Amino acid sequence: MSTIQENTRPALTVLSDDEIAFRDAVAEFVAGEVAPRVQQMERDATLDPALIRAYFEMGLMGIQMPERHGGAGGTVMMVTLAVEEISKVDAAAAIMVDVQNTLVANPLIAAASEEQLARWIPRLCSNTIGAYALSEASSGSDAFALQTRAVKAEGGWTLTGRKLWITNGAEAGLFIIFATVDPSKGHKGITAFVVERSAKGFAVGKKEDKLGIRASSTTEVILESVFVPDSDVLGPVGQGYKFAIAALNEGRIGIGAQMVGIAQGALSAAVAYLKERQQFGKPLSEFQGIQFQVAQAATELEAARLMVYNAARLTDAGRDITQSAAMAKLLSSQVCERVTSLAIELFGGYGYTKDYPVEKYYRDAKIGTIYEGTSNMQLATIARSLFR
């Protein structure tokens, strides 16, 4: 039987020359700029400002933003590759790039006018971090049970409320805020607004002290009668829920990329350790029981990776990704938990210490089953698509 050649595999699993070059460039960047900073950023629970500047200089903060406004004009697949590569070393460092290129970029590209794009995109590509503010104390899994109100005022709107769990909150200069203009209309009253950090009445509140992804900021956002001009309303009034859903669907691909990257980082570290660590006169990697565990983990990881890549390809093709993104996020987060747990066991007692990297991978993995929709919410989404 002849061996299947690489070029005979389905196109879905093959990267183009441009994608390979981009992925390799990101990997080189990660080795030089991210890896040396991981331990200090973990201790400080803060991203190094020098790394953030390097992200902008590398063009990683505007991967799929329009070229005419300073972006790279890239694809969701390229965002996926970048997030995966960074997450292999530090998921916390990857999240800023992920949110900027999915949750922030998606609604702007979908709903902003040309005039709005010309104002916001050049900043987001060169020096300004964005944040996506949907969640509240009473609206987590029930994402549209918003209490934040937008009241019409002369020339604009006045926003009042509190947002929780806002990624990039500590560093962001622009915030996409979702508020309801009429609670009686349910989700059809939700409207998206772009708010400057410098706006009067706007404040960033408590920064969460988290189990994992510690260098990525997660904060409260407080709005006390914040005036937003009509020119900063994103899309039609009452249509914000559409942009929120689309952004979350694409964001789940980014989470999948994070999980695949974390799992790959942990598995690679474990394989390297197993080749070196000797017991009973030979490397641990020569024991068949261990080989089989690693082989099973690698197989599950590859399945998760392909689901994430598939969802990214479908997005770039303009297809409905509601089901595929939910499946990719669900499976990748589950696989990541299993692989990182196994990595600690393969390291033995060393794996439980901070002297080795796998305990951090393990802690970073847990968030994958929670944010941007819990595993149960992904199952509910998948079930609806199957039984509709």
> C-alpha angle with apex 364: 174 to 374, nearest 5 degrees?
75
Asked if 143 and 133 count as a contact pair (C-beta separation under 8 A), the reply is no
Indicate if 372 belongs to the active site: yes
Q: Are strands 278-279 and 282-283 parallel, antiparallel or unpaired?
A: antiparallel
- Tokens at 315, concatenated: 């997005």
Which three-class secondary structure string do you get for 170-232?
A: CCCCEEEEEEECCHHHHHHHEEEEEEECCCCCEEEEEECCCCCCCCCCEEEEEEEEEEEEHHH
Tokens encoding 149: 């109100």
Tell me how far CA of residue 83 lies from CA of 11, 22, 54, 257, 290, in angstroms: 21, 12, 15, 6, 29
Q: How far apart are CA 51 and CA 286, in angstroms?
A: 40
Strands 130-133 and 174-180 turn out to be parallel
Instruction: Say which amino acid occupies 339.
Output: V
Q: Which of 136, 220, 337, 372 is catalytic?
A: 372
Q: Backbone phi, then psi, for 302, in 5-degree steps?
A: -65, -40
Catalytic residue numbers read 372
